[in-house]
């Protein structure tokens, strides 16, 4: 069984339309604040009936960013991130994983940092959506609505004073809340106390696992797997080969994005074995669609509506090198 692919599937009142300079500047200020401000607090993440709380501390330095996240309920986990290097301590299994954060990956805060919001106005409608209070601080709400049914929407709460993102809703095609993340308390400071950024998990007897960072980028002239149909605005931004979790063979990975929503397509040889699953699968806001073609399993996964991953999965084709993804 191809467990590597299987494991991947198991992380409105409207205001006036203001998609002009002021709103885009507010979103750019949010991106700058997430990266360059120093802050710590308690973050609450809600999905379905699950509620996860965690402590978060973030420090900007001359060398980049340092961030520490500790789960406060549920399974124990402590994460230390220094720029793109991520160390995850798992006390229950007495293990530590070391990995590199790749493009298109990241948590609630990081996935909103690198977007070019100004370039997305043909795909989304941006609106101011009133004011509110979050974690005792005054905020402005921004509503980001997709212009079609192939992507999700967002509602963002931006701190008036600092621009920092304090709360976020991920919205379905019918504007229902799929995920919500918010700071229950937060302190914005000149300097985060150093002990808040240091690991607290004793790990002397833990087993350390280093992620295999062997990634083979596939140049356009050598690409053979292609997506023949995808919603307007989505584009292929990278195609590579790398190991999947619990797998000993390289899989092909296509990363597709519209600038805000991202979709990953994983293609792994079956070597004559039956595909472990077929068709649609959903977990929280993440939709998955799996199919098989030419003795390969194709799994499309992303925080997008089910119709989007199914369209892409059903349109994957194998073609001679150099044909290109349109």
pTM above 0.75, yes or no: yes
Longest dimension (CA), the chain: 59
Secondary structure of residue 203 in the 3-state scheme? coil
Question: How high is the pLDDT of residue 6?
Answer: 43
Question: How high is the pLDDT of residue 212?
Answer: 64
Q: What number of CA atoms fall less than 13 Å from residue 298's CA on the CB side? A: 20
Question: How high is the pLDDT of residue 326?
Answer: 52
pLDDT tens-place values along the chain, 326 residues long = 444 444 444 333 333 344 567 888 999 999 999 999 999 999 999 988 899 999 999 999 999 999 999 999 999 999 999 998 999 999 999 999 998 876 545 555 556 666 778 888 889 999 999 999 999 999 999 999 999 999 999 999 999 999 999 999 999 989 999 999 999 999 999 999 999 999 999 888 999 988 766 678 888 888 899 999 999 999 999 999 887 766 678 889 999 999 899 999 999 999 888 888 899 999 889 999 999 999 999 999 999 999 999 999 999 999 887 665 55
Cα gap 217→253, rounded to integer Å = 10
Domain 212-318, CATH number (from 2.30.110.10, 3.30.200.100, 1.10.3810.10, 3.40.50.720): 3.30.200.100
Q: Supply 139's token pair.
A: 């905020």
Cα gap 154→196, rounded to integer Å = 30
* Residues paired with residue 98 on neighbouring β-strands, in sequence order: 87, 210
Question: How high is the pLDDT of residue 48?
Answer: 81
- Residue appearing with tokens 């002239």: 221
Which homologous superfamily does the CATH classification assign to the domain defined by 11-209?
Answer: Lipoprotein localisation LolA/LolB/LppX (2.50.20.10)
Domain limits of the chain? 11-209, 212-318
Residue 281 CA to chain centroid, in angstroms? Answer: 18
Question: How high is the pLDDT of residue 112?
Answer: 67
Sign of CA dihedral 266, 278, 6, 295: negative
- Alpha-helical regions (H) of the chain: 3-8, 21-36, 306-314
Secondary structure of residue 271 in the 3-state scheme? coil
How far CA 289 is from CA of 38, 131, 245, 267, 286, in Å, comes to 40, 38, 18, 12, 10
Cα gap 83→23, rounded to integer Å = 28
């Amino acid at each position: 069984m191809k467990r590597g692919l299987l494991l991947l599937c198991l992380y409105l009142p409207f205001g006036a339309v203001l998609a002009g300079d002021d709103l885009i500047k507010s979103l750019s200020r949010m991106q700058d604040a997430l990266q360059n401000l120093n802050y710590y607090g308690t973050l609450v993440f809600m999905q379905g009936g699950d509620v996860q709380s965690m402590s978060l501390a973030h420090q900007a330095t001359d060398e980049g960013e340092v961030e520490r996240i500790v789960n406060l309920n549920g399974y124990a986990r402590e994460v230390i991130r220094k720029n793109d290097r991520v160390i995850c301590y798992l006390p229950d299994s007495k293990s530590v994983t070391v990995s590199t954060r790749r493009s298109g990956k990241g948590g609630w805060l990081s996935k909103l940092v690198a977007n070019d919001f100004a370039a997305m106005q043909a795909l989304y409608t941006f609106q101011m959506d009133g004011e509110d209070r979050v974690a005792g601080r005054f905020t402005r709400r921004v509503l980001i609505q997709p212009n079609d049914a192939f992507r999700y929407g967002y509602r963002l709460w931006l701190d008036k004073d600092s621009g920092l993102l304090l709360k976020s809703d991920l919205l379905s095609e019918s504007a229902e809340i799929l995920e919500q993340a918010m700071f229950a308390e937060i302190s914005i400071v000149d300097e985060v106390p150093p002990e808040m950024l240091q690991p607290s998990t004793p790990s002397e007897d833990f087993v350390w696992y280093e992620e295999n960072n062997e990634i083979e980028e596939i140049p356009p002239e050598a690409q053979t797997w292609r997506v023949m149909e995808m919603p307007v605005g989505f584009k292929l931004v990278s195609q590579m080969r790398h190991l999947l979790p619990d797998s000993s063979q390289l899989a092909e990975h296509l990363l597709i994005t519209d600038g805000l929503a991202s979709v990953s397509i994983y293609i792994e040889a079956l070597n004559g074995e039956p595909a472990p699953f077929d068709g649609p699968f959903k977990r929280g806001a993440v939709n998955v669609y799996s199919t098989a073609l030419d003795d390969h399993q194709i799994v499309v996964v992303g925080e997008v509506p089910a119709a989007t991953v199914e369209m892409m999965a059903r349109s994957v084709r194998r073609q001679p090198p150099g044909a290109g993804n349109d």
